[in-house]
Structure 1
Amino acid sequence: MGDVVSSHLDEGKREIITARTRDVMREFGKTYQQQYAVALFNSVRYEIEGGGTQSQLLHRKNPLVDRSIFSGNLFQYLEENRKWRNRFVFVASSYAISLYESKTAHDRSLHPKITINCAGYRALKSMEEYMELVNNSLPGVKARPSSSPFVKCATQFPLILWHPYARHHYFCVMTEKEQTKWHAVLQDCVRHTNNGLSEDCKVLTPAFTNAVRLHRQAKDHYGTWDMMCGGPPQILANLVMETLHPEMRSQIAHRLKGKLQQKQRHWMLISDALYKQVLHHTRSQYEALVQSCEVQRPVWDAGLRTDMDQIIASKEHVQGKMRAMVLPRAEQLLQASVKPYVDSILEALMEPTSRGFSEVREVFSRELVEVSKNTLNGGGKELLGEQMERLSMLAFHPVKMQSCYEEVEQLNLDGLQQRFDVSSPSVFVQRAQILMREQMDNAVFTFEQLLNQSLEGQGDEDLCNTIQKCEDRVLKKYDCDSSTVRKKFFREALLQIIIPYMLKHLSPSCSPELPKFKELIFEDFSRFLLVENVFEEVVLQSVTKDIMMAVKEAAVQRRHNLYRDSIVLSNSDPNLLLLGESPSVDWASKFTSDDPEKEGGAQAEGTRGGLASAKRRRQVVSMIQLDGVPLAYESCMEVPGVEQIPEEEGEGYAPRCKLGMEEDDEEEEGGQARAPQSPKSPDSVHEIRDLINPVVEVELPEAEAGKTNGVEPASGTILMEGGVQRRASAQDMMKRLLGNNRKQEATDIEQAIQEIEIAVQEGGKDTELDADSAQTSSKTIESSNEVEPQPIRDGLKGGDGNAEKVENFGEKVAVQISDVVCEI
């Protein structure tokens, strides 16, 4: 396909692309330098004057440190050879999606085949929805309703990442449950990368966003923009592509040859190459632009701190003069075209958002109920540590948070989008979902700190009561904070919808009169006071009062669960605020086992296994797998997860076994489970039997091991509770099962076992078993024992039925060994 790209994007067109990008960046750069100085002034003023509200819940710093989000296997479609290949997918804490050739490649820290930044993408799970978007990519080329897609999915459960400019990515899975889970993860990756720029950058972020907004307004593009996502270079590339992409499409589309599907594939390849070239230029030029502004920052900062009072006075003087000109026109527009629609906009925003925040509260409460149930059932401190470790990442678990996110996705602005030039409600949906995630994490972190403080003060006595008290305390604070956060979100959303509309209608009449206000600003302060920004602030002030009043009136309605501003508490819990700087509690290390035997066993296995077990819980979304079972397709639902902690209600865990795997290969120190090794061909009957029936060595006490009653010790196995098998001498087994009064019966059964084993050894000395035969024989034995075996030591303690149970035991052993012989 490289010839298609090179033939349509020849050297001449590439020069045009470079020149167009350079022109856009030059215009943007002038605006950015002006807005950088204004943002620096606002930042220093805010720092000096202070302000802001104090939240009731605590805020966690770096919640995803040493964490990963998800990992598993997917089928990926390779456009180069039109084949589907199994890929190991790893989603890091940055929400970047990395695809590897295999799990082993990831464990060896090899470079991924591809890394996907999901900014600007949409996660789809329907081929029909995808084809609807693709068919609109080439205007003038109409596709038939029955036309088949150019990508033939290997299964009926596709997953697609679609981007208006960049390359599309196609995946599929085997089950609907996998599709649901992976779709939630992909949506979370998109949601995180589309969240906008970091608010911690008090100068760079507002300077950039204001520059982008003013640049688009200069091109008569008002209203929201759904491609304001990703990092600054990506946003700037989208800004260039907003005009360049349609132009290049009109020049190239009519020259594409072939059938409709072939034209669509070729255009997507060309569009991706075009986007990459633009992104390369915007990244380098933006870095140079920021560096040039940062050089001036120390000098500007010193001047601002010296002349802050005079600059503020000059700005207020200009605002007063400009307000007299703008307010009459703004009030007229407001009364005629805005106020009649404020209640409708607010209602459309509040209903789904309030339901989403209520669902966050319910999910949080349900998780704490599960913790209390396990505590009541005698789980102990170790289980509490596991439960709290799982709870700590609840906010970042896309599957568990999906029910909350779905409530907000019902937000609908039909009838209002066209009037107020709202490109898509997704801008508000994703912002509300991010706020919901933040509030959930704040609630969880606050609960952790309160519970940890309570346990240190009074121990773990009456633990359920302690959990309940902490939960009630946190929920009250959550109700208060969620009310404050929602009202702020509603105000910002209304402003984001209304202000561009008013600016669009006021600018034609007001802009010609703005230059005269520059004469009122001292030249030394002109860098920090721009009349364009002052004009927007005056328009904002004219609308703010009505918006605040509308939100306050909505707070009175009980169905929205909003508090009045007059009853919102401030600094009501100083003791809790002292915990705000405390680090997150490491529950895994806090509740360690106090049993010396368990600790000794862990040390005997080595510290690596313990570290790997602790590390494995660092993956936010866990999955299920039978460890070591070779699968033709390693399903993403079968990747090892957190043991004994089901992700979803009613989801259980399959028993864990090891086939063809060495203990050191089970996990690695990084926390991710290694891919199982293929079973090797055994060299003896003993190895065959060990392969089919994995055995755990258990040493008997010396006092019992020495009592053989003159009989040669013979090896045997006992099936214990939980599927664990134990190797001991046959004489010892019979004595422990029957007691001294059944010695003769035990001796007879032992001799029968020895004769059968000798027969197997003589018939299978030179036999080799391949991996497939080993798997088949294992499945045969498992299917022949469908009834869960009970511990023999509990059922044979004497009585009339003991002899019959011993005979059944001997028959089962004989059947298993005979099955092995048959398989060989």
Structure 2
Amino acid sequence: MGDVVSSHLDESRRGMITARTRDVMKQFSDVYEQQYAVALFNSVRFEIEGGGGPQSQLLHRKASDPLAGRSIFSGSLFQYLEENRKWRNRFVFVPNSYTISLYESKAAHERSLHPKLTINCAGYRALTSMEEYMELINTSLPGIKAKVGNNPFIKCPTQFPLILWHPYARHHYFCVMTEKEQNKWHAVLQDCVRHSNNGLSESNTVQTPAFTDAVRLYRQDKGHYGTWEMMCGAPPQILAYLVMETLQPELRNVIGPRLKGKMQQRQRNWMLISDAVYKQVLSQTTGQYDALVEACEAQRVPLDASLRTDMDQIITSKEHVCGKIRALVLPKAEKLLRTSVQPYISSILEALMEPASRGFSEVRDVFFKEMVEISKNTLNGGGKEKLGDHMERLSMLAFHPVKMQSCYAKVEQLNLEGLQQRFDVSSPSVFVSRAQILMREQMDNVVYTFEQLLQQSLDAQGENDMCKAIQRCQDRVLKKYDYDSSTVRKKFFREALLQIIIPYMLQQLSQSCSPELPRFKELIFEDFSRFLLVENMFEEVVLHSVTKDIMMAVKEAAVQRRHNLYRDSIILTNSDPNLHLLGESPSVDWATKFGGDEPEVSLGGGIEGGGSGRRRRQIVSMIQLEGLPLAYESCLEVPGVELIPEEEDAEVSESKEEEEEHEEDPGLPEDPKSPDSINEIRDLINPVVEMMIPVPKENQSDTTNGMEPTNATVVVEDGVQEDVSHVTTLVEDVPRKSPKSKTSPQTILRQLVGSKKQEDDKEHQEEAAIQNGIKEMKITEQEGDRERIAEVCAAVSDSESSPQPPLATDSHPHDDSGFQSPSNEGLDEGKPQPVTNGLNGEDKIIDPVEVEVLLA
């Protein structure tokens, strides 16, 4: 496959990619430097003037990393290796950074070895069906239309696949054995994608707005208005997507027609080429963006000093210029608003509110269910340790992908079909991801507030009546959540409406207004020109023109009870001051507070920032596989699959695959076949009969393993007498039984020489044979001669003539498949193995002796 990449990406083409990336970064850098100064001005102005909306009723966790010392999930699944086109078992570890690390085995992870692969999930989509994946793949190359029901180029060994798809980077293929595993892994992968896509920090009030505005203005300059679903991940990744947005179609049109082979092979080769191009672009954008941020940060101190000195004059100048721009833009904006925007605001809002309200309501229900479990534990006298365990799990509820999946699924039903084309909305995924992030933040705030309130209550009143304390804290927190979730949802609705409407209005107004904007630059003093840009002021005028209508639409929706929204006037300012004093307290360590044990899961605390001397705690519990052996996680390959054939040679290799599966699984019955070796022919001529006789404890030390020649006869199943040529004594170490349950020698000999169905006239012969056997055993105990054992067997055989049932209760034909030498017979698992009397010559307690009789 590497030859395909190198042949289509030669030095000249790679040079073209480097030059194109450099040009894009140069244009973006100019826009970013301008927006950096504007963002710094807005940040300093907000700091001086203050502002904000209603105060939050819930507490916010102060810790920068609430997942410190924890991991998200770990387990085993099967990964498809493109190098050899095989599936292999991999141990997957998801740390608190949400990057996916794949190891050769669990032992390799515990030894802190480097992972085989590390996946940054930004920009990916987690899929659970080959059909959905093929729909995306079939659009990768132009001019190729796959037939309906066409087989994918990857054959999944199970019906539970997991696929990570990316428009530019390499795809990753996994599969699991059960539907339960698939659901849990899918939730974990989706959470990794969700967290990685939210890579821009809102706490950075300068770099984040400067970057987002620069990307938006750059794309608008290229004619791309509206939301952009690839605005996800870290800034260098977003810049790489910005380059690939125009570069990939050009390369695809040039390279696509030159790809050879069948459709599946051409698709695979194109994905390899696209991944190589993306890696090259990403390496360049990473270095150039870091240099750009460093250069801007170096100028921050003098710019900040200049802003604080001339803030009043800058604000006055901005208001003057905005007034001039407003006189030009506002009449056109209001006309556009009345005719093309206002009729659709209620429809857009309704499409957003239904799934979002259900999602936030599900957050409340999930928290309430967890509280019910804690209350049950308290009422049933679970004790402080049990309460500590429940509170430990509750503290990480917001970061539990499986428990939060029901909340996230409600928002995924958001559908803007019919509105996307009109307002240039590429995909609702932007709003879905934002709502899910807000839901997780609200859940974390609820849990953190409850923890602080419960700790305060227990410190004040003690642990005498914990159930009532838990109930009071729960009711208090849920009431605050109702207010906060209403405020957060209304803010989300306003932001979503602006993201949908503003780009549409800018696109419609720019054609008539943009030529008039340069003349307003003359009204700005040169010293203030870095902080006041005409393009930004034009967007602010358009924004203010539609804000009033959006606010009114949201207020009207708040009156409707079915949305569970509250009016802003109900939320009190500075309410519950005692609660907000608790916000300065650190998070409660419930395991330490209630004397709980160390966490159960140890997953390499020294990796990924977990090295505090404590064992890393895992948020999602391990998957319990019902009906599968415990050794499943230690297997190295897919059960019964040695080679997954490709689509083009599936029919040719079908028979070979069945043979390989047959060889891999020793439990499958083998078809009868003729002997192929001398040993197998010898075994057919000289069959082996296994017999068990007891040995007295006094003579156990004299009994050793070995084969001794002897002369005797034995009656086999078909009634024919066979001569005994050799007797092999095998000593087996088995657990000793109690005297009550121990079988007597008489009973064992009865099982050897006769069955329950013997005729009445044979009873005297049987008793005589038993008495002879007992006498011979006593002689063997006194003399310690091993040869007497074979004579006892021969005597018993002689006493039983051909009309009697066979002596041996268990007859196994010798089977040598060619992998063992004859001297290693009987060493397989589950069969008695020869054991010496002791490793160092000491006596060893042995109950039975297994005797193999070779029939000549």
Q: Which of the five TM-score ranges fits, normalised by the shorter chain?
A: 0.7 to 0.9
Match of 2:285 in 1: 282
Q: How does 1:230-309 map to 2 (within 5 A)?
A: 230-309=233-312
Q: Does 1:68 align with 2:71?
A: yes
Identify the match of residue 461 of structure 1 among 464, 471, 479: 464
Residue 146 of structure 1 deviates from its aligned partner by 2.7
**Change over 3 Å in CA distance of 1:774–1:621 after alignment to 2:** farther
Q: Does 1:219 align with 2:218?
A: no
Query: Residues 56 and 570 of structure 1 are in contact (CA less than 8 Å); yes or no, is this contact kept in structure 2?
Result: no
Q: Distance in 1 between matches of 2:205 and 2:824?
A: 73
Report the AA paired with residue 7 of structure 2.
S
Match of 1:452 in 2: 455
Match of 2:518 in 1: 515
**Change over 3 Å in CA distance of 1:617–1:30 after alignment to 2:** closer
Query: Residues 77 and 169 of structure 1 are in contact (CA less than 8 Å); yes or no, is this contact kept in structure 2?
Result: yes
**Change over 3 Å in CA distance of 1:13–1:624 after alignment to 2:** closer
Match of 2:59 in 1: 58
Residue 569 of structure 1 deviates from its aligned partner by 2.2
Match of 1:798 in 2: none
Extract unaligned runs of 5+ from structure 2: 601-605, 637-733, 748-783, 787-822, 834-845, 852-856
Q: Does 1:45 align with 2:48?
A: no
Q: Distance in 2 between matches of 1:31 and 1:426?
A: 27
Q: Secondary structure at the match of 1:14?
A: helix
Q: Does 1:620 align with 2:623?
A: no
Residue 629 of structure 1 deviates from its aligned partner by 7.4
Q: How does 1:321-360 map to 2 (within 5 A)?
A: 321-360=324-363
Q: Distance in 2 between matches of 1:145 and 1:227?
A: 29
**Change over 3 Å in CA distance of 1:306–1:818 after alignment to 2:** farther
Q: Distance in 2 between matches of 1:527 and 1:341?
A: 38
Match of 1:17 in 2: 17
Match of 1:483 in 2: 486
CA deviations on 1:585-615 (whole Å, 9 max, x unpaired) are 111111116xxxx99xx9xxxxx9xx99996
Residue 67 of structure 1 deviates from its aligned partner by 1.1
Query: Residues 28 and 214 of structure 2 are in contact (CA less than 8 Å); yes or no, is this contact kept in structure 1?
Result: yes
Q: Distance in 2 between matches of 1:155 and 1:396?
A: 29
Match of 1:192 in 2: 195
Match of 1:805 in 2: none
Q: Distance in 1 between matches of 2:560 and 2:411?
A: 19
Q: Distance in 2 between matches of 1:70 and 1:393?
A: 13
Query: Residues 69 and 616 of structure 2 are in contact (CA less than 8 Å); yes or no, is this contact kept in structure 1?
Result: no
Residue 105 of structure 1 deviates from its aligned partner by 1.2
Query: Residues 105 and 634 of structure 2 are in contact (CA less than 8 Å); yes or no, is this contact kept in structure 1?
Result: no
Q: Secondary structure at the match of 1:224?
A: coil
Q: Secondary structure at the match of 1:399?
A: helix
**Change over 3 Å in CA distance of 1:504–1:769 after alignment to 2:** farther
Query: Residues 196 and 228 of structure 1 are in contact (CA less than 8 Å); yes or no, is this contact kept in structure 2?
Result: no
**Change over 3 Å in CA distance of 1:772–1:571 after alignment to 2:** farther
Q: Distance in 2 between matches of 1:327 and 1:123?
A: 44
Residue 367 of structure 1 deviates from its aligned partner by 0.3
> Whose relative contact order is higher, 1 or 2, with alpha carbons under 8 Å and at least 6 apart?
2
Report the AA paired with residue 247 of structure 1.
E
Report the AA paired with residue 65 of structure 1.
A
Report the AA paired with residue 26 of structure 2.
R
Match of 1:700 in 2: none
Match of 1:797 in 2: none
Residue 144 of structure 1 deviates from its aligned partner by 1.1
Q: Distance in 1 between matches of 2:363 and 2:544?
A: 34
CA deviations on 1:336-394 (whole Å, 9 max, x unpaired) are 00000000000000000000000000000000000111111111000000000011100
Query: Residues 72 and 635 of structure 1 are in contact (CA less than 8 Å); yes or no, is this contact kept in structure 2?
Result: no
Q: Secondary structure at the match of 2:401?
A: coil
Q: Does 1:569 align with 2:568?
A: no
Q: Secondary structure at the match of 1:469?
A: helix
Q: Secondary structure at the match of 1:142?
A: coil
**Change over 3 Å in CA distance of 1:820–1:122 after alignment to 2:** farther
Report the AA paired with residue 26 of structure 1.
K
**Change over 3 Å in CA distance of 1:431–1:635 after alignment to 2:** farther
Query: Residues 181 and 623 of structure 2 are in contact (CA less than 8 Å); yes or no, is this contact kept in structure 1?
Result: no
Q: Secondary structure at the match of 2:57?
A: coil
Q: Distance in 2 between matches of 1:356 and 1:215?
A: 34
Q: Does 1:591 align with 2:594?
A: yes
Residue 121 of structure 1 deviates from its aligned partner by 0.4
Residue 570 of structure 1 deviates from its aligned partner by 2.2
Residue 142 of structure 1 deviates from its aligned partner by 1.3
Give the total of aligned pairs.
658
Report the AA paired with residue 103 of structure 2.
Y
**Change over 3 Å in CA distance of 1:314–1:172 after alignment to 2:** same
Residue 541 of structure 1 deviates from its aligned partner by 0.4
**Change over 3 Å in CA distance of 1:753–1:396 after alignment to 2:** farther
CA deviations on 1:538-581 (whole Å, 9 max, x unpaired) are 10000101100100000000000000111112221111101111
Q: Distance in 1 between matches of 2:294 and 2:231?
A: 22
Q: Distance in 2 between matches of 1:819 and 1:359?
A: 65
Q: Secondary structure at the match of 2:248?
A: helix
Q: Secondary structure at the match of 1:139?
A: coil
Q: How does 1:464-543 map to 2 (within 5 A)?
A: 464-543=467-546
Report the AA paired with residue 253 of structure 1.
G
Query: Residues 385 and 588 of structure 1 are in contact (CA less than 8 Å); yes or no, is this contact kept in structure 2?
Result: yes
Using structure 2 for the length normalisation, give the TM-score.
0.73
More deviation, 270-279/142-151: 142-151
Q: Distance in 2 between matches of 1:587 and 1:70?
A: 21
Q: Distance in 2 between matches of 1:775 and 1:192?
A: 56
Residue 127 of structure 1 deviates from its aligned partner by 0.3
Q: Distance in 2 between matches of 1:310 and 1:771?
A: 91
Query: Residues 73 and 635 of structure 1 are in contact (CA less than 8 Å); yes or no, is this contact kept in structure 2?
Result: no
Q: Distance in 2 between matches of 1:625 and 1:353?
A: 33
Q: Secondary structure at the match of 1:106?
A: helix
Match of 1:741 in 2: none
Identity %: 75
Query: Residues 135 and 142 of structure 1 are in contact (CA less than 8 Å); yes or no, is this contact kept in structure 2?
Result: yes
Report the AA paired with residue 215 of structure 2.
V
Report the AA paired with residue 38 of structure 1.
V
CA deviations on 1:757-799 (whole Å, 9 max, x unpaired) are xxxxx99xx99998954999xxxxxxxxxxxxxxxxxxxxxxx
Residue 632 of structure 1 deviates from its aligned partner by 4.0
Residue 453 of structure 1 deviates from its aligned partner by 1.0
Residue 499 of structure 1 deviates from its aligned partner by 0.2
Q: Distance in 2 between matches of 1:75 and 1:197?
A: 32
Report the AA paired with residue 56 of structure 1.
Q
Query: Residues 69 and 611 of structure 2 are in contact (CA less than 8 Å); yes or no, is this contact kept in structure 1?
Result: no
**Change over 3 Å in CA distance of 1:169–1:624 after alignment to 2:** closer
CA deviations on 1:313-339 (whole Å, 9 max, x unpaired) are 111111111111111000000000000
Q: How does 1:336-735 map to 2 (within 5 A)?
A: 336-592=339-595, 618-624=617-623, 631-634=631-634
Query: Residues 826 and 832 of structure 2 are in contact (CA less than 8 Å); yes or no, is this contact kept in structure 1?
Result: no
Q: Secondary structure at the match of 1:174?
A: coil
**Change over 3 Å in CA distance of 1:186–1:754 after alignment to 2:** farther
Query: Residues 41 and 304 of structure 1 are in contact (CA less than 8 Å); yes or no, is this contact kept in structure 2?
Result: yes
Residue 624 of structure 1 deviates from its aligned partner by 4.4
Q: Secondary structure at the match of 1:73?
A: strand
Match of 1:119 in 2: 122
Query: Residues 173 and 635 of structure 1 are in contact (CA less than 8 Å); yes or no, is this contact kept in structure 2?
Result: no
Using structure 1 for the length normalisation, give the TM-score.
0.76
Query: Residues 237 and 279 of structure 1 are in contact (CA less than 8 Å); yes or no, is this contact kept in structure 2?
Result: yes
Query: Residues 224 and 421 of structure 1 are in contact (CA less than 8 Å); yes or no, is this contact kept in structure 2?
Result: yes
Q: Distance in 1 between matches of 2:612 and 2:296?
A: 48
- Give the number of the structure whose residues are more often helix, by fraction: 1
Q: Does 1:203 align with 2:202?
A: no
Q: Distance in 1 between matches of 2:23 and 2:402?
A: 44
Q: Distance in 2 between matches of 1:775 and 1:378?
A: 51
CA deviations on 1:142-196 (whole Å, 9 max, x unpaired) are 1111321001112111000000000000000000000000000000111111124
Q: How does 1:734-749 map to 2 (within 5 A)?
A: 749=740
**Change over 3 Å in CA distance of 1:18–1:567 after alignment to 2:** same
Query: Residues 389 and 617 of structure 1 are in contact (CA less than 8 Å); yes or no, is this contact kept in structure 2?
Result: no
Match of 2:147 in 1: 144
Query: Residues 89 and 635 of structure 2 are in contact (CA less than 8 Å); yes or no, is this contact kept in structure 1?
Result: no
Match of 1:8 in 2: 8
